[in-house]
Chains A and B, each alone.
Chain A
Amino acid sequence: MKTLFIATIIGDGTDSGGDFRPATSDYPVGAAGEIPWDDAANRPLNTWTVVEVSTGDTAAFAGDARIDALPACALETPVAQIDPAQLAGMRAALTRRGIGVAVDSEPTFGSIVAAIKRRAGEGRVTPTKTQLTL
């Protein structure tokens, strides 16, 4: 099952090894995550991103303060049925990172994730071609 994490974006954007990337990239796992972009500043919009890890051992993430695990449950799981410890961990991570998502007002884990992604700026309307200079 794919598991979700909130990971700090590391790197300075230099091409030779300094890619902006989620901290999960330091581990041999299969991971993907959108890095919403600030076109004007030409750098990531946030200091963090939601990462979906599909393969590999995530146990190594434990103790890495740059990576916060989100509850390991299906997206349709009602908030009330999420493991309390995992729910508390998520609340703490959101608070520490300043991600303002009202967990208790969301019906399911999936809607919490969607709210976090909206907060991150994911899924923004793509700029038109004329807005970009290539």
Chain B
Amino acid sequence: MTEFARDPLNGTPGDDLASNSPWVRQPGISGALIFAPDGASACTTATTNTAAYYRSDAAPPTPDYFVSADIEMLDSLINASAVGVIGRASPSAITHYQARFLASSVAPNGTWQLRRIVNNVASTLASVAGSYVAGQKINVKMGMAGNAVSLYLDSSPEPLLGPVNGSTIVAAGFPGLLGSNVTGTRVRIDNFVADDGQVASGADGAAGVTGVASGAQVGIAAASGAAATAVTGVAAAVATNSSVGHGSAVAAAPAVSASALVGAASAVGAVAAMAEPSGVAAVAQVGVAAAAGGSASVASPAGVVAVASTTQPAASGAAAAAPAGVASGAGVGQPSAAAGTAVPATAVLEIGIGAVASVASVGAVTGAGSATCAPAGIAAATSVRDAIATGTISIPATAAPPGVSAYAFIGTATAVGGGLFARAPAGNGYVPRRQECQARPAQLSTGSRPASTQKAYR
């Protein structure tokens, strides 16, 4: 199971979603999704009676995949508003499947729907009455496998709707998001994910739900610290990561190929001794644990999920693989975490974390894999050096352990910031002077010979 698209939907408030990669508005669509005032989710514009369909440009490896997002109704004034996800979206026509919640002003306040749009002609394949609680996030997920289309809520292994025979749209297309008829910022969408996990299948409404959970899904549960729901087909893996999310030592699930899951858990920082899944290189995982500082008290907040992504390639890479942006992080972090010292044989990552409010933020940075993505509270930090330079942490220059290049940066930061190579003493009375001496000139034919020496001070 491979996650091929993920977006936390962070962006400049008010900007159109299409202004950020990888989002593309489906052709012929005038409705818009914009980034919400919090900059950490997307919402629809105030345009009414206009659908907004956006697709990611991340191409699925096969037509069978999941697409999911968290949706949130902020108040009860969202009548006729719709929000959800789309799949197999055409890049050239308004064609896709969609799973959405259509709000209503009458009890029970809405309908969950599976829909098919073919060249802008809409059909409802399945629907069921639903309700919502204002301010409560709901994860809506659509699975597509062959002709079968299903809608799931909140990681339930059983579909709320489907599988129904969607037919017609069989090309992989692209995953995406939808919103329509929404006024203002009353509906928000967050945490878009698409993966090619095994999707429930079944013809003509037959129950065919097996192996529903995807690796990414499990990873999310573990990293966020929430209890994961056991899912048919990967129950062992789910259970393992559920416990990880709560800080327990990892009990390795044999044959669990998603090493990233364990890595994500260790990013929480609660893992002291971790049994690794068979066949999974542990170096990167331990490195991440070191990054967390080994503190079991550190909560694992939302946003740490991205660690899984970073850890995943690291786990399969060489022992030298380190979290993004951290030189030799894995190697340094590992002994550091075990030692548990304050400014220790000091892991570079621990220094960074000391200056950061939460481990989750560090995890997010690491997971993002971008040196330009700073932890919360260190807005401009692009490296551990910069974090230190901000003065948020004090570290003796002599504490540099061998091989940790970050301490070289400490010296550099001082020189650049102070320019203290030379400075005149404070106060008056120190007047630099220069003494000049002149050799006694020779006597001329008339007159006396000048004094032997003349001195002058300047």
Contacts and interface: CB of A to CB of B under 8 A. Distances in A.
**A and B, one complex?**
yes
Given A15-B120, A52-B205, A134-B91, A32 B115 contact: no
A86 interface: no
Given A35-B125, A134-B171, 11 more contacts: A15-B51, A15-B117, A19-B122, A19-B123, A25-B124, A34-B164, A37-B116, A37-B167, A52-B205, A129-B171, A133-B93
Interface residues of B, number: 47
A89 interface: no
A128 B115 contact: no
B95 interface: yes
14 contacts: A13-B122, A16-B50, A20-B123, A25-B127, A31-B127, A32-B114, A33-B125, A34-B125, A35-B124, A36-B167, A42-B118, A126-B146, A132-B170, A134-B169
Nearest to B95: A134
B168 A37 contact: yes
A42 B121 CA distance: 7
Which 9 A/B pairs are nearest by Cβ-Cβ distance?
A30-B128, A32-B126, A21-B124, A13-B121, A134-B90, A28-B129, A20-B123, A34-B165, A19-B122
A32 B123 contact: no
B171 A132 contact: yes
Nearest to A36: B167
A134 B92 contact: yes
A21 B180 CA distance: 19
Interface of B: 49-51, 80, 88, 90-95, 107-108, 111, 114-129, 146-147, 161-162, 164-165, 167-171, 173, 180-181, 203-205
Interface residues of A, number: 41
A104 B95 CA distance: 42
Interface stretch (A63-71, A77-85, A90-98, A116-124): A116-124
A81 B230 CA distance: 42
A37 B124 contact: no
A30 B127 contact: yes
Contact of B121 (A20, A32, A52): A20
A19 B448 CA distance: 122
A33 B49 contact: no
A29 B128 contact: yes
Contacts of A54: 128
A129 B204 contact: no
Contact of B204 (A13, A17, A30, A122): A122
Nearest to A125: B167
B27 to A, nearest CB: 12
Given A25-B127, A28-B129, A126-B146, A16 B167 contact: no
A32 B122 contact: no
A61 to B, nearest CB: 15
Nearest to A30: B128
A39 B93 contact: no
Contacts of B126: 31-33
